[in-house]
């Protein structure tokens, strides 16, 4: 029985809802859209869109922050510029300053690694490309006493399925690993859930590693079905700007570089709500290798675009919450829901700005028995905006 439908709301309320959605979610560049469609074999629909743009940040520095060689000062370092103190950054991301002292022996690290806010900065581009004057840099640097590293975690840790794209390059000395990945931590390394893009600066310059962690079993043996050592399309160097795309979907994780498929892994696909992480690191272990003293390496990112669904509390939970908002997601499954379908791939002319593909607004109203389904989209979009601090 249909007791509620959007049609039943007074039009003034309706107008208010739309206006609210349009004015409160500017940053997602998709404010006319009620869902977002991705292309390729891992194509799907998602409720939310975010575009993080580091290409033309005013006041970007031409000079990287001086490396801090003291362990405590590196740990306690302040943000390198006001950019990282802005709400726009702080609502979404958290710069890390943990170190690996507790986990060195278990992880096979041979070098103390300290994450420092001093290694994360907006850098001015030194070339004359018209479309960007700056980018976000993650630096890692080998110092006499330790390896200084860089990591940023998303505040939102309830992503459940997403398509994330990074326009990125990696430059610098061998012995480091650039990572862009989904992450659900667990004290037991065998229970960590993670879909990875990893670029090893000691590796061949056209190869990138894609993995659904854990890549080793509990006896330490490699699980070959968990990982693909992929070649960039056209053998392009990772020192050049490439768009890396990670599609975490219910039954498979798929990866693309510059729009071309490079890996599909159906083994050990992450199941539970997770966060997103970017980092540049090294610990002298077998995976990264060692960096030579005073060498540096960098992960640089022009922009990040993410379309995603969520489940459970914003800050995540290490256990699945069957009674939480997860139940809501279940309820939403199978509803047509989406009034204005936007593409983040096909027909997109302006990077980061989704394009309207279909407008079902009139159509949905005539569908029988589906009224509550599509009503559900609007509050969810608003809830997403609220969580990102727009309301
Ligand atoms: C979708 O169609 C409805 C009804 O025709 C219209 O009011 C609305 O502005 C359209 N939305 C977009 C994003 O074009
Ligand atoms: C998705 O669309 C973009 C833009 O049209 C295109 O460059 C890319 O190759 C497509 N990817 C797949 C996997 O079809
Ligand atoms: C650490 O930072 C403090 C405060 O800025 C400074 O006084 C001190 O000299 C620094 N220590 C080292 C070893 O650089
Ligand atoms: C490294 O982390 C430990 C906790 O894991 C902390 O006690 C220690 O102070 C940290 N070291 C530095 C240099 O900050
Ligand atoms: C420009 O910046 C890149 C990346 O940081 C660096 O490798 C290169 O040496 C710089 N070129 C000049 C001329 O400064
Ligand atoms: C990926 O394959 C290349 C070429 O065979 C090899 O040199 C490299 O070590 C491999 N990378 C990893 C992480 O296994
Ligand atoms: C890195 O160097 C340390 C000594 O500083 C050594 O113990 C370790 O085996 C090296 N790691 C690799 C992967 O070569
Ligand atoms: C995202 O949520 C919508 C609404 O429930 C659903 O239709 C869609 O299939 C979901 N996408 C994925 C990849 O699960
Ligand atoms: C994208 O650009 C093409 C070529 O200029 C144009 O035909 C098309 O209408 C544009 N699409 C949108 C959505 O603006």
Q: How far is the CA of 34 from the centre of ligand 9 (A)?
A: 21
Quick: pLDDT tens for 173-194: 999 999 999 999 998 999 999 9
User: What is the number of the ligand 2 atom nearest to the C-alpha of 347?
Assistant: 5
Domain range annotation of the chain: 3-47+332-388, 50-310
Q: Which residues form the pocket of ligand 9, taking CB atoms under 6 Å from any ligand atom?
A: 347, 349, 355
With a cut of 70, say whether residue 306 has pLDDT above it: yes
Atom 14, ligand 2: residue with shortest CA distance:
40
Please give the residue that has the higher pLDDT: either 21 or 58. 58
Among 390, 382, 387, which residue's Cα sits nearest to residue 18? 382
Q: How far is the CA of 39 from the centre of ligand 2 (A)?
A: 6
- pLDDT given at position 336: 53
- CA dihedral of 247, 138, 70, 175, whole degrees rounded to 10: 80
Atom 7, ligand 4: residue with shortest CA distance:
101
Quick: pLDDT tens for 268-284: 999 999 999 999 999 99
Place of tokens 């607004």: 361
Quick: pLDDT tens for 333-351: 333 578 899 999 999 999 9
Report how far apart, in Å, the C-alpha atoms of 225 and of each of 146, 183, 210 are.
34, 19, 11
Q: Which residues form the pocket of ligand 1, taking CB atoms under 6 Å from any ligand atom?
A: 32, 340, 356, 359, 361-362
Per-residue pLDDT band for 28 (boundaries 50, 70, 90) equals low
CA distance 264 to 284: 29
Q: How far is the CA of 328 from the centre of ligand 2 (A)?
A: 32
- pLDDT given at position 29: 61
**81 in contact with ligand 6, CB cutoff 6 A:** no
- Across the chain, mean pLDDT equals 84
Number of helical (H) and strand (E) elements in the chain, helices listed first: 8, 20
Quick: pLDDT tens for 122-177: 999 998 888 999 999 999 999 999 999 999 999 999 999 999 999 999 999 999 99
User: What is the number of the ligand 4 atom nearest to the C-alpha of 71?
Assistant: 13
Answer for the pair 272, 192: CB distance below 8 angstroms, yes or no: no
Query: Which pair of tokens denotes residue 16?
Result: 């208010």
Per-residue pLDDT band for 73 (boundaries 50, 70, 90) equals very high
Q: How far is the CA of 119 from the centre of ligand 7 (A)?
A: 23
With a cut of 80, say whether residue 227 has pLDDT above it: yes
- pLDDT given at position 80: 98
Q: How far is the CA of 50 from the centre of ligand 9 (A)?
A: 22
- pLDDT given at position 332: 32
User: What is the number of the ligand 8 atom nearest to the C-alpha of 337?
Assistant: 4
Domain 50-310 class, CATH top level = mainly beta
Q: Of 61-70, 284-293, 357-366, 375-384, which range is least confident? A: 375-384
Quick: pLDDT tens for 74-96: 999 999 999 999 999 999 999 99
User: What is the number of the ligand 5 atom nearest to the C-alpha of 137?
Assistant: 5
């Amino acid at each position: 029985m249909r007791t509620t439908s959007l049609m039943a709301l007074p039009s003034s309320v309706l107008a208010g809802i739309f206006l609210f959605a349009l004015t409160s979610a500017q940053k997602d560049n998709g404010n006319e859209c009620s869902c977002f469609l991705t292309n390729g074999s891992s194509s799907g629909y998602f409720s939310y869109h975010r575009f993080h743009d580091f290409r033309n940040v005013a006041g970007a520095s031409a000079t990287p922050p001086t490396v801090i060689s003291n362990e405590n000062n590196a740990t306690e370092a302040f943000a390198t510029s006001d950019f990282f103190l802005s709400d726009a950054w702080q609502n979404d991301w958290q710069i890390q300053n943990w170190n690996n002292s507790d986990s060195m022996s278990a992880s096979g690290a041979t070098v103390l690694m300290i994450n420092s806010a001093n290694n994360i900065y907006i850098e001015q581009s030194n070339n004359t490309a018209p479309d960007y004057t700056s980018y976000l840099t993650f630096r890692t640097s080998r110092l006499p006493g330790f390896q200084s590293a860089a990591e940023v975690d998303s505040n939102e840790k309830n992503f459940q399925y997403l398509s994330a794209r990074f326009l990125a390059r990696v430059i610098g000395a061998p012995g480091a690993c650039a990572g862009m990945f989904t992450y659900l931590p667990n004290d037991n390394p065998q229970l960590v859930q993670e879909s990875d893009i990893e670029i090893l600066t000691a590796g061949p310059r056209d190869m990138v590693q894609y993995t659904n962690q854990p890549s080793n079993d509990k006896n330490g043996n490699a699980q070959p079905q968990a990982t693909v050592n992929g070649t960039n399309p056209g053998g392009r160097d990772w020192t050049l700007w490439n768009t890396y795309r990670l599609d975490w979907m219910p039954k498979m994780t798929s990866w693309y570089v510059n729009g071309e498929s490079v890996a599909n892994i159906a083994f050990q696909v992450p199941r539970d709500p997770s966060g997103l992480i970017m980092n540049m690191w090294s610990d002298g272990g077998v995976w990264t290798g060692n960096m030579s003293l005073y060498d540096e390496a960098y992960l640089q990112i022009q922009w990040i675009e993410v379309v995603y669904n969520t489940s459970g509390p914003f800050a995540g939970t290490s256990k699945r919450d069957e009674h939480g908002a997860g139940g809501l997601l279940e309820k939403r499954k199978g509803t047509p829901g989406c009034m204005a379908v936007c593409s983040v791939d096909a027909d997109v002319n302006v990077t980061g700005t989704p394009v309207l593909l279909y407008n079902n607004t009139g159509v949905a109203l005539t569908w029988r028995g589906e009224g509550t389904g599509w009503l559900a989209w609007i509050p969810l979009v608003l809830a997403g905006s609220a969580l990102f601090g727009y309301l």
